[in-house]
Chains A and B, each alone.
Chain A
């Protein structure tokens, strides 16, 4: 009934808006494509010509340094021209609508929009608008929309897991923290389940879990110690400070006590478990420095792999 707006009529990826609904072979293909790109960074000349002559617009309606930078690096390593727009400080304040902004930039012959927006679904709106107005040559990459999705983060996490763990179908993975507000968690859940992980757990207090989350195919734990027992991968989520202002949580101290990842809690996971975090980390809130800097953390490799994965996505969508 509702046609997926991210696949074209041949079932190929036209946009990357969400991981939900993408077949396993598409995900695997993205990860496979990313592998050779991680070598580009090791070269003397860190560039390949796949997007030469293409214009990539980073449309960030919400602040982000890290994600925007990695997209920028990825596009530049593919030889694209990159234009960065931080729109919360420009036209949105002057009353220009999201679609007006997209129309204006498309008139400047954009080939790709990398969109971050505080509202869930905003990149879908742009993609649907481009399709409705016959501009199928423009590709949209979701760089994080509200609480909904952050597909490249989900993919880079899968790349990281595959790098360290090889076989998805034998893993137990725990996602810990503010699932309610997390687009990262939603993308991770869809990716893990699609790639065949038999047990995906989410660990959080009830105030930070969306109603009906178990319908996504996850096991819910409120007790972190119980949830971490025997897992292969621990994926921590960032807890934003503003969550402390409402009635969701009493304090960062109390949160850390129950849901902060300490060496003592990590010891309940498998001895070779890896620890991931999408960044930026709040040390002492969701993660103890001893874990963040410890031997099981793969947080910095995640960042490196992120560039390769974003290169793969951009090359697959718009490559020459």
Chain B
């Protein structure tokens, strides 16, 4: 299969390229970038020509957190529904947290998931294995076995390890094999029963608060232990200005730490809870406007390394409840690209910088060869029209989860084509 993507504006953050260039694909790989077909193509020409006029051609998005809800929560979403959402969102590679049911703490489960996900139109799936069995924070999982089964990192999703001795040992063990450890920084005691940022809105609405100290205290612990153990630590879903400052300081002090932020925290703050909008019930909670601004600036400067969707489909029953009883999370795969563009627009950032945060940078954190349009790279490609609008509605969302605080909003950026290993996984021209 030979594909010619023509007339597009090619943006490849990995090589800092932003110019009108065609792309030539054969056998699932990029074989040529530029004006004329590569010699290796021979004389057959393209089997398929994709018109990218008015569009940007960039590497397929790499999402560091997308819950596919399999196994265990198929009533909320299935692999099929969420993979369709990923393709429609231009996401070609994703990491999924271990908080499935059963938890991803056994090699067999990981193998089953990666096997199920191995269809040509499905994004590449990288499971994050559980760091402790059942995510209980007590006993270590078989990390080398899990790694062989396909886990790229080990983490706890939103479940904290309460016992710091277990945390220390888990990080030591992971460091032994140089496995990355992905941790959310939230102290379980300070977050106990909390459902919103401990600030003005929680005070007004009478919601139990989670103070910023819940993040900074947990982060201090993680950073200290990262220094002690030399573990490669990635902090997931940073939420506060103080947290960003600590990451920057730790890096300056020579600790190898990366972090990501979710699309919701980049665009929303506590005020967006409005009148108890359960779709804004997120973990970590949406924080103050000042925190949000610091996250936006931190991501622009690279203090925060990647932007992720934190895709968490929840069924209507889980959200049609009083705010504090509602399930946590929001759907996001299809919003990752539009919200990256909106952020870039508002921050007046070059697209090549903005797109790096959802392509080459997260690929580096995953430790996989991806997120690049270099000749020889896998043809994981997103072609999108930056001028076309994406209307967030229940109907437009392909994910089974319709739960998002952005329902009713309109954002720039519509995916025209998504290619995964040269396979056309999504064709937006089909209406």
Contact = CB atoms under 8 A, between A and B. Distances in A.
Contacts of A146: 206-207, 322, 324
A186 B207 contact: no
Contacts of B277: 2
Nearest to A132: B320
A121 interface: yes
Contacts of A124: 275-276
Interface in A75-123: 97-99, 117, 119-122
A238 interface: no
A128 B322 CA distance: 11
A138 interface: no
Contacts, number: 81
Contacts of A98: 321-322
A309 to B, nearest CB: 21
Interface residues of A, number: 30
Contact of A97 (B209, B317, B324): B317
A5 interface: yes
Interface in A142-191: 145-149, 183, 186
Interface in B197-213: 198-200, 202-209, 211
A63 B321 CA distance: 20
Contacts of B274: 1-2
B322 A117 contact: yes
Interface string B191-226: 000000011101111111101000000000000000
The interface centre, meaning the residue of A1, A129, A145, A148 with most chain B CB atoms within 10 A of its CB, is: A148
A228 to B, nearest CB: 23
B384 interface: no
A216 interface: yes
A210 interface: yes
Interface residues of B, number: 24
A212 interface: yes
Contact of A211 (B202, B278, B320, B324): B202
Given A2-B274, A4-B275, A125-B322, A211 B204 contact: no
A120 B322 contact: yes
A215 B321 contact: no
B320 A216 contact: no
B426 interface: no
A34 to B, nearest CB: 25
Nearest to A129: B320
The interface centre, meaning the residue of B276, B278, B317 with most chain A CB atoms within 10 A of its CB, is: B276
A147 B206 CA distance: 4
A186 B320 contact: no
Given A97-B321, A98-B322, A211-B211, A120 B206 contact: yes
A10 to B, nearest CB: 19
A248 interface: no
B24 interface: no
A120 B323 contact: yes
Contacts of A1: 274
A288 interface: no
A143 B321 CA distance: 18
Given A5-B275, A97-B317, A186-B204, A210 B324 contact: no
A210 B202 contact: yes
Given A121-B205, A124-B276, A186-B204, A211 B198 contact: yes
B365 to A, nearest CB: 34
B74 interface: no
B325 interface: yes
A212 B200 contact: yes
Interface of B: 198-200, 202-209, 211, 274-278, 317, 320-325
Interface of A: 1-2, 4-5, 20, 97-99, 117, 119-122, 124-125, 128-129, 145-149, 183, 186, 210-213, 215-216
What are the 7 tightest A-B residue pairs by CB atom distance, in nearest-first order?
A147-B206, A121-B276, A148-B206, A119-B322, A2-B274, A210-B203, A212-B200
13 contacts: A5-B275, A98-B322, A119-B322, A119-B323, A119-B325, A120-B206, A121-B205, A121-B323, A125-B320, A125-B321, A146-B207, A147-B206, A147-B208
